[in-house]
Structure formats: structure tokens, C-alpha cells
Amino acid sequence: MKKSEFYRHLNVQLDLAVEAHQLLRGESGEEIPGVLMDEQQLEYAKVTTITVETEEGVEAIGKPKGQYITIDAPEIRNNNHLVHEDITHILADRLIKLMNLKDDASILLIGLGNWNATPDALGPQVINKTMVTRHLFQLSPHELHGQMRKISALSPGVLGITGIETAEIIRGIVDHVKPDLVIAIDALAAGSLERVGTSIQLADTGIHPGSGVGNTRSGINEETLGCRVIAIGLPTVVNAAIIAHDVVEGVFEQFVTSPTLYKLYKGIKTETFSQIIDDVLAPFQGNLMVTPKEIDLLIKTSAKIIAGALAISLHPGIDREDYEHYLQ
């Protein structure tokens, strides 16, 4: 069974466009029609840009038309402040190009997720570190003009806490505040353990909260809000079924390379292993998510990086070397 078929079988969604692209291109051995990819290798990160241009590309990759920028930076996991600063600047530069804001633009930051669940607390933690300025323009508009932009921020919680769809809360705020741009920050689900806490995705297509963990809520995008929406996400969990599948693939590879085991391998159907995985995950109906034990530190580190990049990219007057002074 192909990996893509296995994912569909267990209803596993890939939040990262770069992973969906790698999966499809790896299985077909060909470029995906209507989808472009560009890679840039930097000292501490690799930046991959996936652009979905046509409806054919949308159908193939399962993502709306738009641009998806993934910054793969394994050093996020390490306690190296100077490297984290470099990653912050890389993220800020991509945000500036993606946002293309006017000096007087108004931006609403939304921290999606559940602040009571550490793997889902990335959005709220970014908001906690962000300096809001919208109210300051009522006090000193001339002093702030050209130096700061109007920033408002909100952590709306989740349906289980508020009893209200997150998209409904955000729509109400947008109707009142009328921002030029909404930036939504959320935790994602990865398709591999290597990307947990190390890959940051930017998308100009908005976001569907909870899609990666099988709990899709109403979309937060330009169509539903009436203004541009940029999504920032970082994987914090992996579906246990993906880990189990990778183990099975490793076993198969050993079977193929060992003449003694190859005969045994030829007599086993891959569907048999899929059924075993189904049975093991049955108590959780295939929705068992795995996160590392140091997830609290990963969330804290990545939230600081994202908040720092937002400070640099949103406020022209902030010195790139002193951005930490503007974090809460």
C-alpha cells in the first residue's frame, strides 16, 4: 500500500505543503502539474517555497491555490541564542515579502489553539509575547507614524472552552476592528518526527484549525473574513499511525536487502501490516497524537522566534538587533 493511500485510509492530513509535495512527487517520480517548488539553502535553515498555481495542482496536493513557505531549521531544538536570532531574521524577511504592507496598515494577530494543552499552546504563547500598539495610536499617532503599525491581538481559545466556533469569534472582531491583514498562528501536525518543533510554515491561504489532528473547524481565510489572511504554523505533534507506518517501512527495507528474509517478505501482504496498525490504534480510532516530552521548551523557543519575527516585520522602526526589547 502506498503511503498516500495509507494516509487516506486513516484520514491522516498533512498540514505542511512541503510534505504533501514530497510524498506525491516521491511516489510518482514526476513533477506535480500546476505546482512549483523552489529551494534555498542557508547557513542554519533550508527555505522551500511551494506555489500552487492551478486547480489541477489544488486537486493533486490538497491545498488551496497560493504560496507556502517552509523554513526547516533543526537548530530550533538546540539552546543557541545566536542561531535562534538568525532564524528569527530569516522568518522576518519572508514575512515582509509575503505581507507587502503599507506603512499605515492595521494588523490583527490571532493566536489559535488551547492554552491549557502544551502542544496546542503555540498561538496563545506568541500572543503573550507580542507588543500590541493599536490603542497607542489614539494617544500619540504622530510619534508612531512610520515607526509602528497598528497591531491588535487575540487568543480566542477553542470550541471546547468557549462553546463558540473560533471563526465566529474572529469574524466578529474583524467586523469591528476592520484590519487590513489577519495573521493566524497555530500548532500543526507533522508527517515526520524530524519536523516537530523545527519547521515553520507561512501560507497566504489562511488556515483550517485542527485539520492535522482530524478535528477540522471552520476555515479562517480571505473568503470567510473579507480580508487577507496569512497563517504561521509549526508542527508540535505527529500521528502515531505515521510513526507505525515508518517502522513497517523500515522492516520491509530490511527484508528486501536480506536474502534470507526476502522469501518471507514476498509472502506477506502490506495490507496485513496496515490491519495490524488499525487494530493497535483502534482504542483511539486512529487519532492518537505523539509529542516529545520537551514540548514545553520547544513551544517556548518557537513562540519567541515567531514573536520576534513579527516584531521586526510589522514595525519599520524596530532595530533588527534590538527586537527582543519589544517582546513581552
- Residue 262 domain-assigned? no
Give, for 122, the enclosing helix (H) or strand (E).
helix 122-129
| Mean pLDDT within 144-171 | 89
pLDDT band at 4 (very low <50, low <70, confident <90, very high): confident
Cell 515579502: give the residue. 97
Tens-digit pLDDT profile for residues 207-238: 976 554 555 557 899 999 999 999 999 999 99
CATH classification at residue 165: 3.40.50.1450
- Strand 35-41 relative to strand 289-290, pairing: unpaired
Per-residue model confidence (pLDDT) at position 76: 96
* Percentage of the chain lying above the pLDDT 70 cut: 88
| Mean pLDDT within 106-114 | 96
More confident residue, 328 or 286: 328
* Percentage of the chain lying above the pLDDT 90 cut: 59
- Residue 73 domain-assigned? yes
- Residue 312 domain-assigned? yes
- Residue 173 domain-assigned? yes
- Residue 83 domain-assigned? yes
Per-residue model confidence (pLDDT) at position 144: 66
Per-residue model confidence (pLDDT) at position 146: 67
Structural domain of residue 129, as residue ranges?
A: 3-242+285-326
What is the pTM assigned to this prediction? 0.90
Q: Which residues, at least 6 apart from 201, have a Cβ–Cβ distance to it below 8 Å?
A: 15, 16, 17, 18, 68, 69, 70, 71, 188, 231, 232, 233, 234
| Mean pLDDT within 49-53 | 96
| Mean pLDDT within 86-104 | 95
Per-residue model confidence (pLDDT) at position 261: 65
Give me the number of domains the chain comprises.
Answer: 1
Tens-digit pLDDT profile for residues 291-318: 999 999 999 999 999 999 999 999 988 8
Give the rounded distance of the alpha carbon of 139 from its chain centre. Answer: 36
- Examine the pLDDT at 22 and tell me if it is beyond 60: yes
> Among 31-45, 111-125, 276-290, which is the least confidently predicted range?
276-290
Cell 517555497: give the residue. 49
- Examine the pLDDT at 81 and tell me if it is beyond 90: yes
The answer to whether residues 232 and 184 touch, using CB atoms and an 8 Å cutoff, is: yes
Per-residue model confidence (pLDDT) at position 321: 85
Per-residue model confidence (pLDDT) at position 317: 87
- Examine the pLDDT at 319 and tell me if it is beyond 90: no
More confident residue, 51 or 287: 51
| Mean pLDDT within 228-249 | 89
Task: Give per-residue burial for 52-90: e unless 16+ CB within 10 Å, then b.
Answer: beeeebbebbebbebbbbbbbbebbbeeeeebbbbbbbb
- Residue 275 domain-assigned? no
Q: Which residues, at least 6 apart from 285, have a Cβ–Cβ distance to it below 8 Å?
A: none
- Residue 250 domain-assigned? no
